[in-house]
Amino acid sequence: MIKKTIIASALVFVGMTQTHAAEQKIAVVDVQGVFQSLPQAAAIQQSIATEFKDKMEEIKRLEKDLQYYLEKQKRDTATMSEAEIKELEDKLLSLRDEYAQKAQPLRQEMQARASEERNKVLGLIKQSIDAVAADGKYDIILNAGAVAFIDDSHDLSKQVIEKVSKIN
């Protein structure tokens, strides 16, 4: 008797769980795809390139100078005096040090700045997903990359792109 009651209860519970799951509205959004297709993503790249233009030009100049002196060292060392070789080596060391002091911090600064801007856009995407979810009365919205398969009719990426594009 107890076994039958437990089995009956389990069957009712499973039936209720399946009914509840069937009632949920689930959709996906390709967040990475949305980000890449937004005009704001291109604007971020342009903004950072403009912001760091002068520093990048200085790094490129240092790279050209280093390349020039390395080639000169290969080409002319056999005909140079000891003093000239020493002077050239000192110049190369100085340029390498200057390059190391400027290039790595610049890369880090640019990455931090890009990350900051990217996070702003991702915040806008999140707001737009929330708005689309509320409008469509969705219970669950998953990142498309985390789902093995879902029908295209449940992909809200285009709606999110439209919403984010209207924000800016």
Considering the domain boundaries, does residue 156 fall inside one? yes
136 token code pair: 């469509």
Q: What is the pLDDT of residues 79-101, one digit of tens each?
A: 989 999 999 999 999 999 999 99
Considering the domain boundaries, does residue 6 fall inside one? no
Considering the domain boundaries, does residue 69 fall inside one? yes
Q: What is the pLDDT of residues 112-166, one digit of tens each?
A: 999 999 999 999 999 999 999 999 999 999 998 888 888 888 889 999 999 988 8
3-state DSSP of 48-92: HHHHCHHHHHHHHHHHHHHHHHHHHHHHHHHHCCHHHHHHHHHHH
DSSP at 155? B
Considering the domain boundaries, does residue 4 fall inside one? no
Task: Provide the residue range defining the domain that includes 98.
Answer: 25-167
As for how many domains the chain has, the answer is 1
Question: How far is 108 from 149, CA to CA, in rounded Å?
Answer: 38
Question: How far is 137 from 50, CA to CA, in rounded Å?
Answer: 42
Considering the domain boundaries, does residue 3 fall inside one? no
CATH number at residue 140: 3.30.910.20
Considering the domain boundaries, does residue 109 fall inside one? yes
Question: How far is 54 from 64, CA to CA, in rounded Å?
Answer: 15
Considering the domain boundaries, does residue 12 fall inside one? no
pLDDT of 10 strictly over 50 = no
Considering the domain boundaries, does residue 52 fall inside one? yes
Compute CA distances 65 → 75, 88, 104, whole Å: 15, 12, 17
Q: Does the pTM exceed 0.75?
A: no
